[in-house]
Copies of this chain bind each other. A is one copy, B any other.
Amino acid sequence: MSGVSTEENGGGDPRRAIELLWGVSALPRRGPKPKLTTADVVRAAITLADAGTIDAVTIRHVAEHLGVAAMSLYTYVPGRAELLDLMIDHVHGELAAPEPDLGWRAALTAIAEDQWALFHRHPWLPQVATSRSALGPNSFAKYENELRAVEGIGLDDVEMDAAVALVTGLVRTTARSSLEAARLVRSSGMTDAQWWERAAPVLAGIPAADAAHYPLSSRVGQAAGEFHNAAEDPAHAFRFGLARVLDGIEVLVSERQP
List residues of A whose CB falls within 8 A of some B CB.
1-15, 17-19, 22, 24, 53-55, 80-82, 84-85, 127-132, 134-135, 137, 140-141, 143-144, 147-148, 151, 156-163, 165-166, 169-170, 172-174, 176-177, 180-181, 183-184, 187-189, 192, 195, 198-199, 202-203, 205-206, 208-209, 213-217, 219-221, 223-224, 227, 236-237, 240-241, 243-249, 251-252
Contact = CB atoms under 8 A, between A and B. Distances in A.
Contacts of A12: 1
Contacts of A227: 158
Please state the number of chain copies in the assembly.
Answer: 2
Contacts of A188: 10-11
A252 B134 CA distance: 37
Contacts of A241: 162, 166, 169
Contacts of A141: 214
Nearest to A17: B1
Contact of A9 (B2, B11, B134): B2
Contact of A224 (B161, B174, B240): B161
A189 B7 contact: no
Nearest to A172: B173
Contacts of A140: 209, 213-214, 217
Contact of A3 (B13, B85, B160, B208): B85
A163 to B, nearest CB: 8
B224 A157 contact: yes
A158 B6 contact: no
Contact of A169 (B18, B148, B173): B173
A244 B221 CA distance: 26
29 contacts: A1-B9, A1-B10, A1-B12, A2-B85, A3-B7, A3-B85, A5-B54, A5-B128, A8-B55, A13-B198, A18-B206, A22-B206, A129-B176, A131-B177, A132-B181, A137-B209, A143-B221, A158-B224, A158-B227, A161-B223, A162-B224, A162-B241, A166-B244, A169-B170, A170-B170, A243-B248, A244-B251, A247-B248, A247-B252
